[in-house]
Amino acid sequence: MTNSIACVDKAQGFLVIGSNTTENHPIIGDRVKRAVTQRGAKLVVIDPRRIELAEYANVFLQVKPGHNIPVILGMMHVILKEGLHAPDYIAERCEGFEEFAASLDAYSPERVQEITGVDADLIRKAARVYAGAKPASILYAMGVTQHTQGTDAVKCLANLAMLTGNVGVEGGGVNPLRGQNNVQGACDMGGLPNVVTGYQKVGDDEAMAKFDEAWGRKVPREPGLTLTEMGQAALEGKIRALYVMGENPMITDPDLHHIEKALDNLDFLVVQDIFLTETAAKADVVLPACSFAEKDGTFTNTERKVQRVRAALAPRGESKPDWQIVQELSTKMGYPMSYAHPREIFDEIASLTPSYAGIDYDRIEREGIPWPCPDKDHPGTPVLHVEKFARGKGLFHVVEYKGSAEEADDEYPLVLTTGREHPHYHSGSMTRRCGRINDCFPEGFLEMHPADAERLGLRTGDPVRVTSRRGEITTKVKVVDRPAPGTVFLSFHYSESPVNVLTNPATCPVAKIPEYKVTAVRVEKA
Amino acid sequence: MINVTIDGVRVEVPKGATILEAAQEAGIRIPTLCYLKKLSPIGSCRMCVVEVEGCTKPVTACDTPAGDGMVVTTDSEELREMRRDVLRLLLVRHPLDCPVCDKGGECDLQDLVYEFGVTAESYRTERFERDVPRYVSPFIRQWPDRCVLCGRCVRACKEVKGVGCIQIVDNGFYSYIGPVPGVECISCGECLSVCPVGALTDSVHPTKARIWQADRVPTTCGYCGVGCQLELNVLNGEIIRVTTTDFDKAPNFGSLCVKGRFGWEFVNHPDRLEKPLVRKDGELKEATWDEALGLVAQRLQQIKDEHGADAIGGFTSARCTNEENYLFQKFICAR
Ligand code: SF4
Ligand code: SF4
Ligand code: FES
């Protein structure tokens, strides 16, 4: 997030897009609801489903999965045409505006209505509501990024926020809500192929020299592979061994049949996890790890705040914290490591990472600190880009709408979109093993609009077969008017109906995130 | 800003502040029960009564705005007797069942009864029927006779979570917290976390512990990216529940969702891996750490020698700590 969670309380307006906030980030969802009901803040919601926040919205645009970009372009067209933008802010702090402004000409609300079916007047209204609220915050999640044009959609949102002068102000911002506890931290630590810690570029010689020295080894200067590319590389035999720490791609990756083949093609697979997950079951060696309750360390939350995790229990059986396993393996392979406690590792991270440099365990004993925190006296940075953008000027990107990789057709007439349900989490390996939660919420359902259900002769509870170009699964249907006609929804928590058998591995060319949110499917009574 | 004198201490507070807030500013404690900082005050329990110069009757400090020049007394024998009466009346309904109550040791009512020296149940009537309806959430057990009808749960559900699925049902002696028809509970446990007594208790784990028996370890939730702060309550090496007692702690200020508050059972699950596993004759069999790590080291080395370091891939994890992700990275890059 460019801004802090507390900033939600200062926003006068919100655009919530591709985020079912009240179910997936309930604590932030609560705050948005409070802002609307208790302070009269304005709310625009854009989502393929009539999610809970839609009930609180001044304007709700129910888009088809994949139509975020044209709708945002349409909103920006209106903002510009009606002079609702922030010319002084743009002149002072941004660049690339002329070209960008010209590119919006093609996206009148009427044209957008033609593309998306969303009423032109609603687009106008959404534009006025968002632009009329100062400051206004954009909250988004995977509904924006898990598309082949995901990066473009994010750029679009950044454009929208800059256009209205909402970046670098309290209560504003462009705020991705991170789905997993430490997705932010994993990226900060260099869990992306082209960077090391704190987003220092693999190509940056000076930074790399620092790592060469600290690590006592020559660090690779070429970017590695992304998750999705690794699958392909395994199929092609370029990757022979895979070491998986705490992930379950056999449930969470798109096109599971493809992933299964990739894993089968490896010479050697090591999986380190707390359970024998679907992925671990395929491994040659499984290393038992500790859960969050059994280890010390830090997680970095969605607002970039580095917070403590503390061991409350002794390791279970012979299991060990992941850091210790990595350390022992590394030592065995001739690259010795001998940290006594995660605190020592953290200090090393801080010494190599400018944005973490001022943080240590003592400082975050009671409350976390948001990076960047360059030195020990720095209080941390709740709001990014305050006086100027990190890169100097905020750059407007020209974005053109291209469409999703897959569209509904005669054979696969419905569009499936995926996500989570509030009681469960991700691949389900944790919440499905919480007795009480699983007793209360034992099965998933395909959400379908009554109109589609009637056409297909389906009633709530009927077993159905869902088929895409890549595979089929069975589940039960729930007839509700949350999705629009033509759209169906499934969550991915249930390994008995693994929705990612169906999803499309087509990825966004920049972020390499798969298009989980748009899959053409056919639904039949099973 | 306005000036208020509380027990002889002069404080300056913003206009609109309540007498209670002014007292807090002055460092003076006024006993409360239905009041909670994060909720709107309703002035219903009357524990917080204070005397204001010029007023004939005591007023409730939690919901009475302080006035400029106001002179307030928070403690006198009369006020104490009034507070004692409040407590005596609560004890008509509330059984003194502290020995079997989960909340014993951290219960506002218990503390107040103790503080004000109410030593007996002064008024006796019939007991409240215990088997009142099941609570709206299957994660929470309701003990209606312990309820002091402070309405904190009702306000929290509505004001903090925006749900509003519970309300005070019936009236007088028989009132209890019941469902609002047609509104679904999301099992967030906000109500549970704000109940000052043991009228709502966590029902997930059968074993309970007194506050002084269990360890309460503050940590960060392991689910979504909000990073809520919570406390794992540990007894005999097992998690028995999750609490949030620090309502001033960002980012969640004591609130959680169903996963954070009730979704910890996986930690104790029998499926947890306890030993390394190594594939032998097609099957995963238990092995020692030495054997397992030895095999990993040997196979990775071999693949590196034959195909180069690039033939080894690693998946780091959004579930693991920063330290672990860093170390994994270091291992993969520097090995
Ligand atoms: S669990 Fe949450 S939603 Fe249910 S009654 Fe309590 S506060 Fe309301
Ligand atoms: S259940 Fe607890 S919080 Fe709710 S009214 Fe009764 S005593 Fe107060
Ligand atoms: S605390 Fe003021 S009336 Fe209850």
Q: Angle at Cα B278 formed by Cα B275 and Cα B283, nearest 5°? A: 115
Least confidently predicted of A199-208, A445-454, B257-266: A199-208
C-alpha distance from B175 to closest chain A C-alpha (Å): 28
Contacts of A242 in chain B (CB under 8 A): 312-315
Residue B234 pLDDT exceeds 90: yes
Residue B76 pLDDT exceeds 70: yes
Residue A280 and residue B290 in contact, taking contact as beta carbons nearer than 8 Å: no
How many contacts (CB atoms, under 8 Å) link A and B? 397
pLDDT tens digits for range B90-121: 888 888 888 888 888 889 999 999 998 887 77
Residue A488 and residue A468 in contact, taking contact as beta carbons nearer than 8 Å: no
Q: What's the rounded Cα separation, in Å, for the pair B57 and B53? A: 10
A147 is written with which tokens? 């598309």
Query: What is the pLDDT at residue A408?
Result: 82
Residue A152 pLDDT exceeds 80: yes
Q: Which of A489, A522, A503, A517 is nearest to A413 (CA)?
A: A522
C-alpha distance from A218 to closest chain B C-alpha (Å): 7
DSSP B2-21: EEEEETTEEEEE-TT-BHHH
Please report, for residues A105, A275, A316, B278, the alpha-carbon distance to residue A283 in angstroms, rounded to integers and kept in the order given. 54, 12, 21, 8
Strand pairing report for A42-47 and A59-62 = parallel
Q: Which of A118, A71, A147, A184 is nearest to A484 (CA)?
A: A118
Residue B200 CA: which ligand is closest? 2
Contacts of A239 in chain B (CB under 8 A): 310-313
Residue located via tokens 């919570």: B230
DSSP B29-94: ----SS--TTS-----S-TTEEEETT-SS-EETTTSBP-TTEEEE---HHHHHHHHHHHHHHHHHS
Q: What is the mean pLDDT of residues A115-121?
A: 92
Spacing, Cα B154 to ligand 1 middle (Å):
8
Contacts of A185 in chain B (CB under 8 A): 318, 321-322, 325
Residue A506 pLDDT exceeds 80: no
Task: Name the residue of chain A whose CA is nearest to B235's CA.
Answer: A313
Residue B244 and residue B274 in contact, taking contact as beta carbons nearer than 8 Å: no
DSSP A131-192: HHSSSEEEEE-HHHHSSTTHHHHHHHHHHHHHHTT-TTSTT--EEEPPSSTTHHHHHHTT-S
Residue A201 pLDDT exceeds 90: no
Quote ipTM for the complex. 0.88
Residue B45 CA: which ligand is closest? 3
Task: Name the residue of chain B whose CA is nearest to A33's CA.
Answer: B162
Residue located via tokens 């891996």: B273
Query: What is the pLDDT at residue B182?
Result: 92
Spacing, Cα B155 to ligand 2 middle (Å):
10
pLDDT band at B127 (very low <50, low <70, confident <90, very high): low
Residue A308 and residue A281 in contact, taking contact as beta carbons nearer than 8 Å: no
Q: Which of A28, A25, A34, A23 is nearest to A5 (CA)?
A: A28
Domains and CATH numbers, chain B: 2-75 (3.10.20.740), 205-272 (2.20.25.90), 277-333 (no CATH)
Residue A211 pLDDT exceeds 90: no
Query: What is the pLDDT at residue B132?
Result: 61
Residue A449 pLDDT exceeds 70: yes
Domains and CATH numbers, chain A: 5-177 (3.40.228.10), 183-370 (3.40.50.740), 414-525 (2.40.40.20)
Residue B136 CA: which ligand is closest? 1
Query: What is the pLDDT at residue B133?
Result: 66
Spacing, Cα B87 to ligand 3 middle (Å):
12
> How many alpha carbons fall within 13 Å on the CB side of residue A92?
11
Q: Does the bond joining A48 to the residue before it have cis omega, within 30 degrees of 0?
A: no
For an interface test with A, the pick among B192, B266, B307 (most A C-beta atoms closer than 10 Å) comes out as B266
Contacts of B334 in chain A (CB under 8 A): 215-217, 219, 335
Least confidently predicted of A35-44, A151-160, A243-252, B268-277: A243-252
Spacing, Cα B138 to ligand 1 middle (Å):
11
B124 is written with which tokens? 């006796």
Percent of chain A with pLDDT over 90: 46
Q: What is the mean pLDDT of residues B230-255?
A: 92
Rg value, chain B, Cα: 27
Q: What's the rounded Cα separation, in Å, for the pair B335 and B332? A: 6
Contacts of A27 in chain B (CB under 8 A): 226, 228, 251-252, 255-257
pLDDT tens digits for range A54-99: 999 999 999 988 888 999 999 999 999 999 999 999 999 899 999 9
Q: Does the bond joining A249 to the residue before it have cis omega, within 30 degrees of 0?
A: no
Residue B293 pLDDT exceeds 60: yes
Phi and psi at B98, nearest 5°, equal -50, -35
pLDDT band at A327 (very low <50, low <70, confident <90, very high): very high
Residue B130 pLDDT exceeds 60: no
Helix (H) or strand (E) holding A414: strand A414-419
Q: What's the rounded Cα separation, in Å, for the pair A403 and A149? A: 8
C-alpha distance from B177 to closest chain A C-alpha (Å): 22
How crowded is residue B268: how many other Cβ atoms within 10 Å of its Cβ? 19
Contact B250 A274 (CB under 8 A): no
Percent of chain A with pLDDT over 70: 98
Residue A440 pLDDT exceeds 80: no
